[in-house]
Structure 1
Amino acid sequence: MTEEYSKAKKIIEENDDLVDDFGGASDDIIKKAQLVLSVQFPEDYKLFLSCFGALTFGSIEIYGVFREDFDNSGVPDVVWVTLNERNLVNMPKHLVILYNTGMGEMYCMNYEDLNSDNEPKITSYFPGFSENAQKNEVLYDNFGGFLLDMIKEEID
């Protein structure tokens, strides 16, 4: 578990009035989600899923897993959202969507761009633009850094 994730979790717990979570996901659901998406989630993200499932914190919504029926789910289900974008705009299979900015940009775990712990960095993705037009700009080195930044921004 990264220090950033620990800090983010502490802030989330201290600001319970801003929190709407889905209840922790079971190990079985987390395993199934990884299988369906053909990825291995980073440790921090697995902790996030087992603790919150998915999370709305103030106005931000961080995608996760909270039910087994991915096909008949919807936002903020990470599996449903990611599979939906893969079908709609042929989004590459190495991207898993975590967050939608609401301005055409998605924040994704990028399994082709790994950090020193062999975990996906968080990069930008613009659905509907060709792969050649994507910059896949690195926004965060890991999930914990992403979560901490998003939570801090919401409080400020």
Structure 2
Amino acid sequence: MSIAMYDDAIRSLRDNGIAVLGTKSATEDDLNQIETRLGVALPVSYKKMLSEHGALEFDTIEIYGWLSQGIDAKFITNVVYAAERERADGRISETMIPFLAAGYGPFYVMECAEMNTDGEAPVYEVSTGGYTNGKDKLADSFGEFLRNEVRRTLEARAQGGLEFGEDEDSPPSREFISEFWKDRAKDFE
């Protein structure tokens, strides 16, 4: 079911003319390296994203994944680097996989210790201080989370909330981004 949600999300982006950008697709060997290094089985919908896109970017969303530099890439968008860094800082448990920063403090993780029989893990929003300071369940799977993010993106565009100006391919201004995240941060006060 969550694979269908993932596929629906990608199809919706393309059908609505939103560029779906990726890096280097992960091979089966790459996926095995990631799982071995992080000591967890990855959720199936996230593995599909890794094998199709490597890392995934659309609109203002940048999901961590596999990069062309390989398993030791020292970029936050490398899921291995992000997980090892957050684990070392004590912000996530050894079974959590971070995949997206909110941009205003909290970040999103898949909790692989709670993997269901379909091979999916729930998604949580983790507070800036780390999982011991609070986490909120947002979705039952990465596929569901992605589908929901795509729907929010499409709704915001339809309402003019995230329009970037006359040229829809132009990036948002720094002022727009700053104000957007300041307003979003109020949700967590």
Please give the range of the TM-score, normalised by the shorter of the 2 chains.
0.7 to 0.9
Deviation at residue 68 of structure 1 after TM alignment: 5.5
| TM-score (structure 1 length as normaliser) | 0.86
Query: Aligned residue for 1:145?
Result: 144
After superposition, residues 53-64 of structure 1 pair within 5 angstroms as 53-64=54-65
List, as ranges, runs of 4+ consecutive aligned residues in structure 1 with deviation greater than 4 Å. Answer: none
Conserved 8 A contact 1:7-1:148: yes
For CA contacts below 8 A with separation 6 or more, give which structure has more relative contact order: 1
In the alignment, the residues of structure 2 paired with residue 30 and residue 112 of structure 1 have an alpha-carbon distance, to the nearest angstrom, of 18
Structure 1 position 91, deviation (Å): 2.5
For residues 111 and 9 of structure 2, what CA distance do their matches in structure 1 show? 21
Instruction: Output the CA distance in 1 between the equivalents of 2:131 and 2:124.
Output: 16
Letter in 2 for 1:145: E
- Unpaired segments of 5 or more residues in structure 1? none
Alignment of 1:4-153 (within 5 A): 4-15=5-16, 17-67=18-68, 69-89=70-90, 91-115=92-116, 117-129=118-130, 131=132, 133-134=133-134, 136-153=135-152
Any unmatched runs of 5+ in structure 2?
156-189
Amino acid at match of 2:149: M
Q: Hey, which of these two has a bigger chunk of strand by percent?
A: 1
Identity %: 27
Give the TM-score taking structure 2 as reference length: 0.72
* Superposed CA RMSD: 2.1
Instruction: Say whether the 8 Å CA contact 1:56–1:62 is kept in structure 2.
Output: yes
Q: Cα distance, 1:90 vs. partner?
A: 5.0
